[in-house]
Amino acid sequence: MNKTIIFLLLLSLVGCSNFTNKGEGLNSASSDLKLDVKKFTLSNGLRLLVVENPQLPIYSYYTFFDVGGRYETNGTTGATHFLEHMMFKGAKKYGPHKFDTFIESNGGSTNAYTSFDSTVYYENLPSHTLETMIDMEADRLQYVLLEPKAFEKERAVVLEERKYRYENSPKGQLFLAMMQSVFKGTPYGGSVIGDEADVKNLKIPEMRKFFDQFYTPDNAVVVIVGDVDADKVYEMVKDKYGHIKPSKDLKEFKKQMDSEERYTHRARYKRDVKLYGQSPSPMFSVAYKGKKIGEETSYVLDILSSILGDGSSAYFHQKYVKNKRPLLSSISVANYTLRHNGVFFLTGELLKRTNLNKFKHRLLKDIRRSCNEAITERTVQKTKNQYLVQYYSELQTNSGVASFIGLRENFYNDYSFYNKELEIYQSITAEQVKKVCHDIFDKNEYIFLSVWDKNPKGNK
C-alpha cells in the first residue's frame, strides 16, 4: 500500500449515516472518527464486515484475498494476476458469461485488481440483487472454471497487457527496472503481471493448485456497504459460504513465505541503470530504501514525499518545473509501502535541452539539501491539511468505504486501524520529517535509472 492508498482511502463517509466526526481538523480527527462496522466471523474463518447506509438503494461488495505476487515462485510468476482474469470466466453454478451478464443487466459494475500483497474483487449494484450476488461470489470462490479455450484466450490478453504496461511503455520499463533493482532477490523484485516466459508456460493444473491453496474462506475478507441489513447479510453469507472448507496448511506456508529474511534488501546502491526505450526525452527515477507498511517511519515518509513532490506547489516541482529556467517537464515523489518492505523514489522527465548527466549530479545534491530547505512547520501542516481535504472529498461512496475498511482488515486484521494511523499522522512534527529525510538521503545510497532512445540498445 502506498501513500495514495493510505491517504485517498483515509476515510470519507460524508453522506453516510454511520459516520460521525466532531473534529475540525487533522489534529482532532482521530478520536472522533466513528465507523459503525458490524463484523462477523464464520466458523470456517471467513471475515465479514458490513456497514449499513440506507440513503440510496445500492451497495458495494468487496472481497479481499491475502494473496499476491509475493507468494509466487520461479515458473509461476503472474499466476495471481492471471487467475484474477479467470475468475470472471464462470464457475460451476453460474457458467461462462453469467457473472458479467447479471451485473450488466442490473446496471451494475465489476472489476478487480492484483498487487504484490493482495487480490481484490468488487461490484456495485442495486440492493435487490444482493442475495444473488452473494451466491455468485460463493460459487466462484469454490468452483472457478478453468476451461482450456477461455484459458488460452485470457493468456493472450495477459501477454498483451504486459506489453502495453512494460515493453511498450517507457514509464512501465522504468518502474519495472526499479522494482527489479531495489528488490533484487526478494519476492517484490519483478512484476505482478509476471515474467513473459512464465505467463506463456503456465498450465491449468498449476493455476488450479494456486486457486485451491489461496482461495479459501479463512484467507478472505468480504465487505458489504450500502442499503443492506447487517444481520440479514450475515445470514445469507453464512448460508452460501458457511459450508466451504478452510485451508489445510496455508497458515504454516504463509509463515515460511513471509519470513523476514526473504524480504531483506539485497540491492547494490550508488549506481546507474540505463535502459533503452522509445522515449525521445530522458525519463528517470531515483530510488532509495523504504519502509514496510505500518512502520511509524513509513508515515513520516508519506509526509516527506508529499512535501517534495506532490502537486504543483511541491518543492521539486517549483525547483525544476515552475522555475524561470525549467529543467523538467514533470517530477513526482512517492513512498511505496508494501507488506514486508518499501521503496522511496523520485521520477520525472527531462526537457529536451537538459543534459541527463549534469542534471543527475545536480539532483542528487538538491535531494540532500531538501531536508533543510523544504521541510518547515508550515509545509508539514500544509501537507496534513491537504490530506484532510482528500480524506473527505475522495471517498464519498459505498465503494470507498468498503475499500477503506477492507484494506485495513486485510493488512492489519483490524478494520479500525485507521484510529492508530490518524494518531500517528497527527503527531508527526517537522523535526521528525527532517530527521527521516536526512536518514534516507545522507548516506547517498541511491539507484539512478533512466530510459531514453539514446541509451545503449542492449539495455532493456
Q: What is the per-residue pLDDT across 39-77, written as a single tens digit (0 to 9) for each?
A: 999 999 999 999 999 999 999 999 999 999 999 988 999
User: Residues 270-311: pLDDT tens digits?
Assistant: 999 999 999 999 999 999 999 999 999 999 999 999 999 998
Q: How confident is the model at residue 196 (pLDDT cuts 50, 70, 90)?
A: very high
Length of the chain: 460
Q: How far is CA 209 from the centre of its chain?
A: 25
Average model confidence (pLDDT) for the chain? 91
When pLDDT is cut at 50, 70 and 90, the band that residue 329 belongs to is very high
Name the residue among 370, 116, 404 with its Cα closest to residue 258. Answer: 116
Work out the percent of the chain whose per-residue pLDDT is above 70.
91
Which of 12-21, 51-60, 243-252 is predicted with the least confidence, judged by mean pLDDT?
12-21
* pLDDT for residue 4: 37
**What is the per-residue pLDDT across 106-125, written as a single tens digit (0 to 9) for each?**
999 999 999 999 999 999 99
Whole-angstrom Cα distance, residue 220 to residue 234?
15
Cα separation, 71 vs 55, whole angstroms = 40
DSSP 8-class letter at 166? I
Q: Using CA atoms, how far apart are residues 196 and 78, in angstroms rounded to an integer?
A: 9
Note the pLDDT of residue 35: 81
**Predicted pLDDT of residue 26:** 44
Calculate the alpha carbon distances from 18 to 26, 31, 51, 84, 388 in Å: 20, 16, 8, 32, 19
As a whole number of angstroms, the distance between CA 1 and CA 342 comes to 9
Q: What is the C-alpha to C-alpha distance for residues 167 and 451, in angstroms, rounded to an integer?
A: 12
Q: Dihedral through CA 48, CA 51, CA 57, CA 59, nearest 10?
A: -50
Residue 5, pLDDT > 60, answer: no
The model's pLDDT over 384-430, given as tens digits with 9 standing for 90+, comes to: 888 777 766 656 899 999 999 999 999 999 999 988 888 898 899 99
Which residue, chain included where needed, has cell 498450465? 203
> By CB neighbour count within 10 A (0-12 exposed, 13-18 middle, 19+ buried), where does 458 fall?
exposed
pLDDT of residue 421: 86
Check whether 34 has a pLDDT greater than 90.
Answer: no
Global pTM value: 0.91
- 3-state helix, strand, coil split of the chain in percent (to 5) is 50, 20, 35
Alpha-carbon distance 454 to 276, whole Å? Answer: 7
Averaged pLDDT for residues 314-337: 96
Say what the pLDDT of residue 386 is. Answer: 82
441 φ, ψ (degrees, to nearest 5): -100, -30
pLDDT exceeds 90 at position 258: yes
